[in-house]
């Protein structure tokens, strides 16, 4: 168990830890790129997580160790700056946000490790941010509530790491609930847990194994394209502050004759925001067949209109599209690689995974990793 192993590793490096915190990765059933457009998302935390063992120091030093990588990083609370490496920045970013907000921290030691596949679009980075926020809050008794911790974690990624992500990943990691998806309104941050029944189905992820280098630059470009669309619609409809406030008719009227890239991005987005709400009604009606069709529609929009998919993810969705054991499938997360999510009839997982892996190997010369995931609880102290 990782929670035991991390305690042992902490002990070898630093002595006795004060506590161990767990923060999970996430999936998203539907509602992609809608978070930064103030729309709705439907994510869930999963049974793969990042753990942090942490303990106080008597000075202002921060000593970090990444158990999976066997790498150390040391710095001090004063004059925090980017590490020039990848993983420490997700931790230091949260420290920086807490400090900027006026919270008093002291030095600490921390070991971080987990079983969220890295670079697979399951939000290992958000899990590292949330595990850090939660652990520091407990360790130093800062009294920060969970929503604020989510916001600090998102800002750490936006400001310190430099990725202009929305709030979905951090929210799902922090607020996940076993066997439930989270219907999150990204404008008000109001949320509701909806039961996600898995007696008859499994959630099967196919990991493309690729992360195309365009990912973060194109992500930031999509944000700007949506903002440009909003500014045009806003001239005619001043109440429209984000694409959440717009509808398909407004997009047609204001954007269809102009720049076709902006039009396609915005048209997909208003449709997707509506689709999440309709998909929630499908869940209430226990109509997973209808829910699954919407997942395919989301994929097609992300691929053709929003243009954030890639040949590998498109290929994986096409391989299952006409399979009666698959209710729905689509690319998941920011795009340009990562995982596809498949809702699969119980019992069909193994054969489907094997057949798809064979096709994937033939077509892309890549080994397909597959994961059946369960929906789990969000960030908490484990020891």
**Hey, which residues between 192 and 251 contact ligand GAF (CB under 6 A)?**
none
Which residues are known catalytic residues?
Answer: 169
Q: Which of 14, 35, 132, 182 binds ligand GAF (CB under 6 A)?
A: 35
Q: How far is the CB of 308 from ligand GAF (least distance, A)?
A: 8
Tell me the site size for ligand GAF, rule CB under 6 A.
Answer: 10
Based on CB atoms, which residue is closest to ligand GAF, 168 or 203?
168
Least separation in angstroms between residue 36's CB and ligand GAF is 6
Listed ranges 129-137, 163-171, 313-321, 369-377: which one lies at the site for ligand GAF (CB under 6 A): 163-171
Q: How far is the CB of 124 from ligand GAF (least distance, A)?
A: 11
Kindly report the number of other CB atoms within 10 A of residue 245's CB atom.
19
- Dist CA 349 CA 202 (whole Å): 7
Q: Is 141 left (phi over 0), alpha (psi -120 to 50) or beta?
A: left
Given candidates 33, 180, 264, 299, which one binds ligand GAF under the rule CB under 6 A? 33
Segment contacting ligand GAF by CB under 6 A, of 29-37, 95-103, 251-259, 289-297: 29-37
Binding mask 303-342 for ligand GAF (x = CB under 6 A): ------------------------------xx--------
Which residue lies nearer to ligand GAF by CB, 165 or 233? 165
Residue whose CB is less far from ligand GAF, 75 or 170 = 170
* SS3 annotation, the chain: CHHHHHHHHHHHHHCCCCEEEEEEEEEECCCCCCHHHCCEECEEEEEEEEEEEEEECCCCEEEEEECCCCEEEEEECCCCCCCCCCHHHHHHHHHHHHHHCCCCCCCEEEEEEECCCCCCCCCHHHHHHHHHHHHHHHHCCCCCCHHHHHHHHHHHHHHHHCCCCCCHHHHHHHHCECCEEEEEECCCCCEEEEECCCCCEEEEEEEEEEECCCHHHHHHHHHHHHHHHHHHHHHHCCCCCCHHHCCHHHHHHHHCCCCHHHHHHHHHHHHHHHHHHHHHHHHHCCCHHHHHHHHHHHHHHHHHCCCCCCHHHHHHHHHHCCCCCEEEEEECCCCCEEEEEEEEECCCHHHHHHHHHHHHHHHHCCCCEEEEECECCCCEECC
Beta-bridge partner residues of 164 = none
Which of 32, 129, 225, 349 is close enough to bind ligand GAF by CB under 6 A? 32
Q: Which is nearer to ligand GAF, 26 or 180 (CB)?
A: 26
Distance of alpha carbon 322 from its chain centroid, rounded? 28
Which residue, 36 or 40, has its beta carbon nearer to ligand GAF?
36
Binding track over 109-148 against ligand GAF, x by CB under 6 A: ----------------------------------------
Compute the least distance from the CB of residue 33 to ligand GAF, in Å: 5
Among 24, 166, 209, 328, which residue interacts with ligand GAF (rule: CB under 6 A)?
166
Exactly one of 27, 52, 95, 168 binds ligand GAF (CB under 6 A); which one? Answer: 168
C-beta closer to ligand GAF: residue 64 or 269: 269
What's the CA gap between 5 and 17, in Å, rounded? 13
Check binding of 176 to ligand GAF (CB under 6 A). Answer: no
Nearer to ligand GAF, 169 or 376 (CB): 169
Tell the smallest beta-carbon distance from residue 29 to ligand GAF (Å): 11
The answer to whether 165 contacts ligand GAF (rule: CB under 6 A) is: yes
Task: Enumerate binding residues for ligand GAF (CB under 6 A).
Answer: 32-33, 35-36, 165-166, 168-169, 333-334
């Amino acid at each position: 168990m990782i929670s035991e192993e991390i305690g042992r590793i902490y002990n070898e490096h630093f002595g006795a830890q004060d506590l161990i915190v767990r923060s999970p990765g996430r999936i998203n059933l539907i509602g992609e790129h809608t978070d930064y457009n103030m729309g709705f998302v439907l994510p869930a935390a999963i049974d793969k997580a990042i753990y942090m063992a942490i303990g106080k120091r008597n000075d202002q030093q921060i000593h970090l160790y990444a158990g999976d990588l066997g790498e150390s990083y040391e710095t001090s609370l004063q004059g925090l700056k980017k590490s020039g490496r990848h993983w420490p920045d997700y931790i230091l970013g949260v420290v920086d946000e807490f400090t900027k907000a006026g919270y008093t921290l002291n030095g600490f030691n921390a070991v971080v490790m987990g079983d969220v596949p890295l670079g697979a679009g399951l939000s290992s980075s958000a899990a590292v941010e949330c595990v850090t926020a939660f652990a520091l809050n407990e360790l130093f008794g800062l009294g920060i509530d969970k929503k604020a911790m989510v916001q600090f974690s998102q800002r750490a990624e936006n400001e310190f790491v430099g990725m202009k992500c929305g709030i979905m990943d951090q929210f799902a990691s922090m607020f996940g609930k076993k066997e439930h998806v989270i219907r999150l309104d990204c404008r008000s941050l109001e949320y509701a847990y909806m039961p996600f029944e898995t007696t008859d189905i499994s959630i099967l992820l196919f990991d493309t194994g690729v992360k195309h280098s365009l990912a973060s630059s194109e992500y930031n470009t999509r944000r700007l394209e949506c903002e440009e669309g909003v500014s045009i619609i806003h001239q005619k409809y001043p109440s429209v502050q984000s694409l959440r406030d717009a509808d398909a008719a407004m997009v047609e009227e204001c954007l269809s004759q102009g720049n076709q890239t902006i039009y396609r991005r915005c048209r997909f987005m208003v449709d997707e925001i509506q689709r999440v709400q309709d998909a929630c009604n499908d869940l209430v009606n226990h109509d997973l067949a209808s829910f699954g069709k919407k997942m395919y529609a989301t994929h097609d929009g992300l691929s053709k209109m929003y243009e954030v998919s890639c040949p590998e993810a498109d290929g994986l969705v096409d391989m299952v599209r006409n399979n009666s054991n698959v209710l729905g499938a689509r690319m998941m997360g920011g795009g340009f690689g990562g995982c596809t999510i498949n809702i699969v009839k119980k019992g069909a997982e193994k054969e489907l995974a094997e057949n798809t892996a064979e096709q994937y190997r033939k077509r892309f010369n890549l080994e397909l990793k597959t994961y059946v995931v369960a929906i789990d609880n969000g960030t908490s102290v484990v020891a």
